[in-house]
Chain A
Amino acid sequence: MSPSRWAWLVIAGLAIVVVQLTIADELSIGGVHAELVWVLPAAVGLAAGSKAGMAAGLVGGAVADLFVPTPFGLSAIAGVVVGYLVGRLGEEGIGDLGGSAFWVAPSIAFGAGLLAPVFYALCGAVIGHASYLSATLGIVCGLDAVACALLVRPVMRVLGPHVVDDSTRAGPLEPVRGAL
């Protein structure tokens, strides 16, 4: 990962926080709103593979944790796991994303958004915040999954060219363009 790619991830993390604070926080259903922090590792993992996805999860999670009162680093842990799993699915589970249907990337992101809050809440419970496993977790999962599915392709399109490591790819940006 070159410094410029890390810089792009920080910028993307901050941009997602802006969207979170201005739009997602306003769109609450039943007192719960979508957390957009999982979109970044999902999109980058699909666009550029597991290593970049994990970096996006680490950076995006750390940036997001600066703006919420939950333990600092907890989103980063869940983000790294999301980035790894989504990246692996994109690389090997699905194979060439370029040849897959348009709904594949949103479907993977939907799954990531569904599981990420559960993993986050479980990690929180392990470090002494059992209240994270509350009754609203189901709604949180649903909202996060929908947000991930809706936003993954736009984020891939915007961020893909800046985070893909061309040297590890067979052709320049082929998987990213194809996935879109």
Chain B
Amino acid sequence: MAPQRGRRRLLTFAGFLLAALTLLAIGGPLRSASSGLARAIVSPFVDVVRGLTKPVGETFAGAFNYANVVAQNHQLERELGRLELKQRSAGFEQIQLRDLLALDQLPFLGTLQTVIAQTNYQNLSDFTATIEIDKGSSSGVLVGMPVVGSGGLVGTVTATTSGGSTVTLLTDASQSIGVTFGSMGYQAVVHGQGASKPLDEDFVAPGTPVHKGETMYTSGLQGGLFPAGIPVGRIAVTHIHRGATEVSISVEPLANLNELDYVDVVLWEPGS
């Protein structure tokens, strides 16, 4: 009796596992068909609960990231001071026009065409870092195209539908970007380490002059995945381990990945 029950239990387990594997196999269409409905069901509850729990979450975030909050506050104070100075020396309309022009035609893009897209949704997972934007293949957006914000490189388009796209952020662990830095144009490759984490860099030989705060730009190499010259990040920390064959460098993305309400998709195909 007992072995029979054990066999039946294992069969049930196999059945459930098979169902889950089937979900994995046919997942794409099933998800696109039902995720909208699921979001529509959940979002009113999310809005209500978020309204109630926001102060608690902010308190928690402040408590665990206090040093960051203080540092960011100081940085913001400095930036605010600079902005106030600028505002006093120029008219409001002038500043507005300049900001719009900066958004419309980012200086580092040169003659490359772009499509401005609005971010619909930011996916938070411990395993991937992506955003959903409202422009897709009908607007000329294709898989592999770079996405930039006013600060620099944001990521790449990794999936498209006719009316929307998924952008994998440069901090995602799957991302590798060929960069160049320094006056001599040193080459390196930076890797994403996960959402909210700095980028990690390798292939920098010991003795290479690396300066904290130095800006890194896409090199146009690494399989030609990005056009050359897009600002990627700023060197935050450098470290050489004893006996190591390369310098360990931590790079902070230049684009503010927490504020991606609007982004520019660069209409540039890899390898072109």
Query: Of the 9-residue stretches B19-27, B92-100, B139-147, which lies at the interface with chain A?
Result: B19-27
Residue B28 is within 8 A (CB to CB) of chain A in the complex:
yes
**A23 touching B127 by the CB < 8 A rule?**
no
Distance A174 CA – B60 CA, assembled complex (angstroms): 38
Residue A127 is within 8 A (CB to CB) of chain B in the complex:
yes
A114-144 contacts to B, CB under 8 A, are 117, 120-121, 124, 127, 129, 131-132, 134-136, 140
Q: Which residues of B contact A158 (CB under 8 A)?
A: none
Q: Which residues of B contact A77 (CB under 8 A)?
A: 17, 20-21, 24
Distance A140 CA – B42 CA, assembled complex (angstroms): 25
By beta carbon, the residue of chain B nearest A128 is B174
Residue B211 is within 8 A (CB to CB) of chain A in the complex:
no
Number of A interface residues in the complex (CB < 8 A): 55
**B27 touching A73 by the CB < 8 A rule?**
yes
Residue B46 is within 8 A (CB to CB) of chain A in the complex:
yes
Question: Distance in Å from the Cβ of A62 to the closest Cβ of chain B?
Answer: 6
Tell me whether chain B's interface is mostly helix, strand or loop, or mixed: helix
Tell me whether chain A's interface is mostly helix, strand or loop, or mixed: helix
Q: Which residues of B contact A51 (CB under 8 A)?
A: 9, 12
Residue B123 is within 8 A (CB to CB) of chain A in the complex:
yes
**B57 touching A23 by the CB < 8 A rule?**
yes
Most buried by B among A19, A71, A83, A124: A71
Residue B133 is within 8 A (CB to CB) of chain A in the complex:
no
Question: Distance in Å from the Cβ of A175 to the closest Cβ of chain B?
Answer: 17
Residue B31 is within 8 A (CB to CB) of chain A in the complex:
yes
B22-58 contacts to A, CB under 8 A, are 22-25, 27-28, 30-31, 34-35, 38-39, 41-42, 45-46, 49-50, 53-54, 56-58
Question: Given contacts A69-B125, A77-B20, are A54 and B13 in contact (CB under 8 A)?
Answer: yes
Query: Of the 9-residue stretches B78-86, B108-116, B194-202, which lies at the interface with chain A?
Result: B194-202
List the 10 closest pairs (A to B, CB-CB), nearest first.
A72-B27, A26-B57, A73-B24, A31-B196, A73-B23, A131-B173, A76-B20, A54-B16, A22-B49, A72-B31
Task: State the A residues within 8 Å of B (CB).
Answer: 14, 17-19, 21-23, 25-29, 31-33, 35, 50-51, 54-55, 57-58, 61-63, 65-74, 76-77, 79-81, 83-84, 88, 117, 120-121, 124, 127, 129, 131-132, 134-136, 140
